[in-house]
Amino acid sequence: MTKTLTNSDLAQFTGTEQLYRHSLVRHIVYTDGARHVAQAGEAYWLLDKIACAQLEPHVSREEFQLWTLTVNQDLSAELVCTDGNEVTVTSEKISFTDFPLPVIKLYVVNNTILVPSEY
């Protein structure tokens, strides 16, 4: 399957018609836009990382979370969660990813993972 995720696709998500329950962390849901990221970018692993981080008290107590995945030219990456005010809550280095975009941002608000245009 060819990855077809683009920033212009993501900008079209301005709300959600359905919420999807995360299969591992049942109190976390995600929107149509986040589902599109997972499907078109073959990145369910990204939703898993964000959802599983919600099991850590220092992460889950943040009411607003900005998650940024930055992919480097060598296909390593860094996933960083901030509180929206540039204070890092948690971060992780990823040794390899074939995620199709150089940068993507996702929010977590009220136990819901969403793309910024859906906020």
Q: Could you write out the three-class secondary structure of 37-58? A: HHHHCCCHHHHHHHHHHCCCHH
The model's pTM is 0.95
Residue 2 has pLDDT above 80, yes or no: no
Residue 118 has pLDDT above 80, yes or no: yes
Antiparallel, parallel or unpaired: β 77-82 and 64-71: antiparallel
From the list 42, 48, 43, 44, the residue with the least C-alpha distance to 1 is 42
What would the pLDDT profile of 54-68 be if each residue is shown by its tens digit? 999 999 999 999 999
At residue 1, the pLDDT reads: 54
At residue 53, the pLDDT reads: 98
Section 57-86 average pLDDT: 97
Mean pLDDT (the chain, rounded): 96
